[in-house]
Structure 1
Amino acid sequence: MKRRSFLSLITAATALTATHNQTLFAQITKSKKIKPITGTWFEFQHHSEIEGKYWNDTLQGFTANDWDSKIKEIASSGIKYLVLLDVAIYGKSFYPSKLLPQHSLGCTDPLEAALTAANKYGLRFFISNGFFGDWRNPWLLMKDQKIHELRVKAMEELTEKYSHHKSFYGWYYPNETGISGHYDDVFINYVNACTKEAKRLTPNGKNLIAPYGTKDIKFDDKYLSQLDLLDIDFIAYQDEVGVQKTTADQTAAFYQNLNKFHKKSGKSKLWADVELFQFEGKVYNSPLLPAPAERVIPQLEAVSEYVDQIFIYQYTGMLNKPGTKLFTGFDNGKSLYQSLVKEGWLKG
């Protein structure tokens, strides 16, 4: 489709009803041969206080009704999956637990509120099984036996309290080490140990990891054998554009090779974790802001052909539907949302 024709479709959309908007969304997506954004990471508090400067205080005050409204907003964008980053951090849990003291938030059980809302609006949740211990030391969290035992107890507690929700789709394992050519054995053992417990507790659940180091993968027989070893349903590789390790014009080649290797292995599905953010200042040591659309849209275009699902990091703090009463993050979150709708990556 020519650019002029595409813009005509967008202009016409403003005069249509909500039903017609959904039809137009499907037409745009089909004409551009893109996969829309279907998942996002989700959190009750951002793990890095510096990075979450512009939305942590807002989220801290959210009531159960606020979580319902925010999840309804996310669902209206066309997103189908939520990935809960963590259920605990800094020695405290985000849900009522017998294992740890609880963070002081505006909602006594935000996980119950979020899952209940996801039930209502047709979303699926990957529930985190971390962070138990210092999230900045992933090697310790993956190797320490006492931390592993605490993680398993938490998974048991979470299963007992929340697995009755139809939105409880499976588990997300948040601890990561970078792929330096290949996965290290510690990471493989951690993933497989988590999956062993996940299958015991929720046999029908699905499981997700989102590793980094995508640009450094060596596409060889060893990497292929490691894909066969990993007992995981979905791997959403980070595109690492937001952390300034790659650029959008480089990532297509990575995901094209990943597509070939995942097809050869046939073990896990290939997804993308596209970073919508930029840093206000120094990388890893300043607040996160929504990146401009002219950077984000090429990121999405680069991976769309090769992956089964496109997830983003992340809706909360980076995106806000125009007119929302629950604004989270920095002001230009509205403009990025509108650009993604205009180009067919999200619904209006």
Structure 2
Amino acid sequence: MRRRDFIKYLGLGGVAMLAMPQSIRANSSAVAVPSSCKKLKPISGSWFEFRHSASEGGNWNKALTHFTADQWRRKIFEMREIGMEYLVMMGVALDGKPFYPSQIAPQIPMGCEDPLEAVLAAADECGIKFFVSNDFWGELDAYTMMIDKGVQKLRFRSMEEVAQKYSHHESFYGWYFPNEAQLQPYFIDECVKYVNDCADFAQRLTPNCVNLIAPYFIKEARFDEYFVRQLEKMNIDIIAYQDGVGVNHTALEDSARFYEILYKAHEKASRARLWADMELFYFEDGDGGNLLPADFNKRIIRQMENISPFVDKILCYQYIGIMNKPGTDIIAGHPDSLRLYEQYSAWYNQYKNKK
């Protein structure tokens, strides 16, 4: 699905911005790179999907739809082998239909009876931590899903069901709230309420959960009192900002500057941990079409260099479909995904040997 197709409500942020005093709107001066964060960080995890939108996932949707429980298990182990410690499940449903056996709506037909059970059980075995999604139970419009009471009812009903069926898994680390917010340059009030409502409900169901969101449009990020106060108000453990390089929101050479701003704001707020959601892809048609793997040596290593000084962890969007280990029967994606796997694997093995 187009995970960043939510620019349609950009104007809400613009209105809020005009209302801010000039003293709050101004950025403060840059700070030096934190001395404790200068080492290049590996990719510690990835977003994870059972199915992508037809317009973007044409290279892997068909294969994933037919994966058996054993193939899902081996795919999870494949990701762990290359250093993935965390997986962020994009959706437990798509267009209101669940990927798992549910009392809420008919299940999406898959080659595996219960894909959610298959991947969580595999993650238990190999030590991966999952952030489990609590959506998509409505139309793929972030703002609508944040405020729609009917979607909220389905969302919370699903969370109860998912917690009952799957939270016994050791790999059930926390929740991901996937209605992604755009910095405009601040979070809209509806987003803050949505995050806090989801977090409150999640903590009632799974008291020890760790929760995550992934906002985008970091080029609008501000370090000022207003944004810091918003961060202080949000009951969220981890914010993994999308770097925006793959979708052409962010120029490659600018991402370090934007993460530096976010680092300063998070340091002052002392609330949510700052992670990154680094994009491994580019669009086949320039600004749309199938997602294709970027080149590690020409682009992705530079993204890692820009991000590493300012975040605790680098996650990526995404391993599924964009990276594949060669020589297996669980390849789902463009042939270039094998090249990217080999490129990153060579770098990661060198990284491990230097530790």
- Using the size of structure 1 for normalisation, the TM-score is 0.88
Q: Which residue of 2 aligns with 1:36?
A: 42
SS at match of 1:170: strand
Aligned sequence identity (%)? 48
8 A contact 1:91–1:101 mirrored in 2: no
Matched, 1:334 2:342: no
Q: Which residue of 2 aligns with 1:270?
A: 274
- 1:175 maps to a residue whose letter is N
Residue 122 of structure 2 corresponds to residue 117 of structure 1: yes
* 2:345 partner amino acid: V
- Structure 2 counterpart of 1:219, which letter? F
Question: Shift in Å at residue 99 of structure 1?
Answer: 0.5
1:89 aligns with 2:101: no
| Aligned with residue 63 of structure 1, among 59, 65, 68 | 68
SS in 2 for 1:175: coil
CA RMSD, 1 decimal: 1.5
1:76-123 deviation digits (Å, cap 9, x = unpaired): 001100100000012210000000110000001000000000001110
Residue type of the partner of 1:44? F
Letter in 2 for 1:182: Y
Residue 330 of structure 1: CA displacement?
Answer: 0.4
2:284 matches 1:280: yes
Corresponding position of 1:158: 162
**1:289 alignment partner, one of 283, 288, 292:** 292
Secondary structure at 2:331's aligned position in 1? coil
Give deviations 1:247-299, integer Å, cap 9, x for gaps.
Answer: 2210001111211111111100000000000011042x300000112111101
Within 5 A, what are the aligned runs for 1:13-52?
A: 33-46=39-52, 48-52=53-57
Deviation (angstroms), 1:218: 2.0
Partner of 2:340: helix, strand, or coil? helix
Counterparts of residues 198-213 of structure 1 (less than 5 Å): 198-213=202-217
Query: Which SS does the other structure have where 1:305 is aligned?
Result: helix
Query: What is aligned with 1:5?
Result: none
Q: State the AA in 2 paired with 1:313.
A: Y
In structure 2, list runs of 5 or more residues that go unmatched: 1-37
How many residue pairs end up in the alignment?
Answer: 315
Counterpart for residue 19 of structure 2: none
- Matched residues in 2 for 1:139 and 1:277: separation? 25
The within-5 A match list for 1:134-153 is: 134-135=139-140, 137-153=141-157
TM-score where L is the length of structure 2: 0.86
The match for 1:77 among 68, 75, 82 is: 82
